[in-house]
Amino acid sequence: MNFKSFASAALFALFGLGSLAAQASTSSMNDASVMQYRYGDHLDIQKVLSVKDDPRTTCGPVNTRMDYIDSHGKPQSVQYRSYATSGCHDN
């Protein structure tokens, strides 16, 4: 195996691992019971339990998940896009 083929194999392996890591970080928020919010959807929210963003170190659009209780007392979850500002400013 020469250096060129080894380097290209290592590069493809690196990209493959990177895509698996990116998919794993977003799949934690993806759940069959989570509703995907669309503009104009009516949400029956009695009490908000938690709001969690995908972990990011830069500012920009991220997936956000809100867990809440509806007016019937049932726990619900909704996922939507928001703008993370945690990495926008140096403190």
pLDDT computed for residue 47 by the predictor: 96
Closest among 83, 25, 31, 90 to 59, alpha carbons compared? 83
Domain ranges of the chain: 1-30, 32-91
Per-residue pLDDT of the chain (91 residues; tens, 9 = 90+): 576 665 666 655 655 545 444 444 444 455 667 889 988 899 999 999 999 988 876 778 889 999 999 999 999 999 999 988 766 766 5
pLDDT computed for residue 90 by the predictor: 61
Cα distance between residue 63 and residue 79, in whole Å: 7
pLDDT computed for residue 44 by the predictor: 92
- Do the beta carbons of residue 79 and residue 36 sit within 8 Å? yes
Q: Counting beta carbons within 10 angstroms of the beta carbon of residue 69, is it exposed (0 to 12), middle (13 to 18) or buried (19 or more)?
A: middle
How many C-beta atoms lie closer than 10 Å to residue 31's C-beta? 10
Q: For the domain with range 32-91, which CATH number is right: 1.10.3720.10, 2.30.140.50, 3.40.50.300, 2.60.40.1220?
A: 2.30.140.50
Tokens at residue 71, please? 């007016």
pLDDT computed for residue 21 by the predictor: 46
How many C-beta atoms lie closer than 10 Å to residue 32's C-beta? 4
pLDDT computed for residue 69 by the predictor: 95
Could you tell me the pTM of the whole model?
0.58
